[in-house]
């Protein structure tokens, strides 16, 4: 199976969403949606066969199609003055290699990145370094749905427990039952 992530500005109307779902189902796949009106962004994780047609998805959606499962996160600094520095660190010339997109919205930085290129520890470490300059805390919200393999990988790396695999995560096994 292959994972693609759609990033769509705003909330797609019913016609757009039906077209995307039909294009995905027509290829034997499934879409998992999350919309965030306050942030002004919607995401869909597409679970497709390896022999999928990404162009058909692009035609149906009008958004950005990433040919991998990405992490999209809204980070809100507790100190508003930290927002421009955080945006520059994640979206500027020195950003981590895996950052695909970065913008500000509703007092947050919305960052989209490929966890296969830049790990969660790198991106979150950079966020925390920038926020320390302002003695600022943060709230973070994951915006895009993630596949079990990515969730297990993040947990395994964060807990330094390589034995954590999708087939050993109880919550994922219960969801599949």
Strand partners, 109: 75, 104
Closest CA to 46 of 64, 71, 67: 67
Phi, psi of 26 (to 5 degrees): -60, -20
CA 35 to chain centre: 12
pLDDT of residue 162: 77
For the chain of 177 residues, list the mean pLDDT of each consecutive stretch of 10.
91 89 91 93 93 79 88 97 96 95 95 95 95 96 89 76 76 64
pLDDT of residue 144: 95
pLDDT of residue 58: 76
- Select from 3.40.50.300, 3.20.20.100, 3.30.70.100, 3.10.310.30 the CATH code of 71-142: 3.30.70.100
The tokens describing 34, both together, are 């999350």
Total length of the chain:
177
- HEC string of 72-94 equals EEEEEECCHHHHHHHHHHHHCCC
Q: Are 150 and 172 in contact (CB under 8 A)?
A: no
Domain boundaries, the chain: 2-66, 71-142, 147-177
- Select from 1.10.1050.10, 3.40.640.10, 3.30.70.260, 3.40.50.2000 the CATH code of 2-66: 3.30.70.260
Q: Model-level pTM greater than 0.85?
A: yes
Q: Are 110 and 102 in contact (CB under 8 A)?
A: yes
């Amino acid at each position: 199976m292959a994972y693609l992530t759609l990033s769509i500005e705003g909330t797609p109307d019913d016609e757009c969403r039906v077209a995307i779902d039909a294009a995905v189902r027509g290829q034997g796949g499934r879409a998992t949606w999350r919309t965030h009106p306050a942030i002004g962004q919607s995401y869909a994780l597409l679970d497709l066969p390896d022999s999928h047609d990404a162009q058909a998805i692009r035609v149906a959606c009008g958004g950005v199609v990433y040919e991998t499962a990405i992490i999209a996160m809204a980070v809100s600094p507790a100190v508003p003055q930290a927002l421009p520095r955080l945006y520059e660190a994640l979206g500027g010339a020195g950003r981590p290699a895996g950052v695909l997109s970065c913008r500000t919205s509703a007092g947050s930085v919305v960052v989209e990145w490929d966890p296969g290129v830049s790990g969660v520890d790198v991106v979150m470490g950079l966020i925390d370094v920038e926020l320390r300059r302002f003695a600022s805390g943060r709230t973070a919200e994951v915006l895009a749905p993630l596949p079990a393999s990515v969730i297990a990988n993040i947990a395994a790396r964060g807990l330094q427990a390589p034995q954590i695999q999708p087939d050993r995560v109880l919550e994922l096994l219960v969801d599949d039952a």
